[in-house]
Every structure is written in structure tokens, then in C-alpha cells.
A = this chain, B = another copy of it.
Amino acid sequence: MSDLLERLRGRGWRMTAQRRVVAEVLDGEHVHLTADEVHARAVAKLPEISRATVYNTLGELVSLGEVLEVSTDQRAKRYDPNAHQPHHHLVCAQCGAIRDVHPVGNPLADLPDSERFGFRVSDVEVTYRGVCPNCAAA
């Protein structure tokens, strides 16, 4: 994640303890935390960090394209640090577990012109739903 910090510094981001902590919390594979979860983990590392700062920082990371915002349920948004490799999501309908997945094919090509209603279509988001091994066993 120090790559990320370097990139951000290079873009003129003022480095603060709070921002460093948020970036650290978001490190890893298959990480999809809500803002509140990010806040909870950030507080564990830096007790005086405020909720507003976490929201601000997440918003900035999204604007900079370093983190993706995904809404796999209709509750809180989740933040996905795996922004540099295009991917979709597979969600457990029971426990909410999320995995990054890479389907074959290009869904954008699967939308015929006749189904585009004159839109300039630029992006597609695919969410698979199912039951994870843990929940299936239970």
C-alpha cells in the first residue's frame, strides 16, 4: 500500500496520519469494507480519527480513482481498493460475503444497439448472487 501513498503524495496530496491510516485499512485482496467498518478499524489504529474524516478520505480516494465504490446490497456503500484491475463481484445472499470475480466475455458487447435507447453506454457492472460454501454447509 505504500505504492498508493507514494502515488497520492505525487499528486499533491498532503499526507496526514489520518489519511495514512485509512489507506492502510483498505489494503488487501477481496477487501470490501463499509465506511463504518473502515472507521472502526481506523479508530483502532488512531483513536481520535473522526467519522467525517473517514468519509472525506474515502470520497477523495474514489475521486482519484484509487478505490472503487460498490453497492452490493442496498445498505451501505462498500469500498474496494482493487481499482486497477477491472472486475465484478460475487455476493453471498445470506452472509453478504463478497469476492472479486473476472467473468469471460464482455457484457458491454452483449447490449444490442436496439436496446441502448440512444444512450452512450460506457460502463457495466455485474453482480453475481449465490450462496457461499460456509452458508451452504450451515
Instruction: Give the B-binding residues of A (Cβ under 8 A).
Output: 69, 71, 73-74, 77, 90, 92-93, 99, 101-105, 107-108, 110-112, 115-133, 136
Which of B120, B126, B130 lies in contact with A126, CB distance below 8 A?
B126
**Contacting pair B125 A103 (CB below 8 A):** no
Taken together, the copies of this chain in the complex come to: 2
Q: Which residues of B contact A93 (CB under 8 A)?
A: 122-123
Which of B90, B124, B127, B132 lies in contact with A129, CB distance below 8 A?
B124
A64 to chain B, nearest CB (A): 18
**How far is it, in angstroms, between the C-alpha of A102 and the C-alpha of B120 when the chains are bound?**
16
A84 to chain B, nearest CB (A): 18
**How far is it, in angstroms, between the C-alpha of A128 and the C-alpha of B117 when the chains are bound?**
12
Residue of A73, A111, A127 with highest tally of chain B CB at under 10 A: A111
**Contacting pair B103 A116 (CB below 8 A):** no
**How far is it, in angstroms, between the C-alpha of A127 and the C-alpha of B136 when the chains are bound?**
27
**Contacting pair A127 B125 (CB below 8 A):** yes
Between A and B, 23 residue pairs with Cβ closer than 8 Å are A69-B74, A71-B71, A71-B74, A90-B116, A90-B117, A90-B119, A101-B111, A101-B116, A103-B111, A104-B112, A107-B110, A107-B128, A108-B128, A111-B128, A119-B128, A120-B131, A120-B136, A121-B130, A122-B130, A122-B131, A123-B128, A123-B129, A124-B127
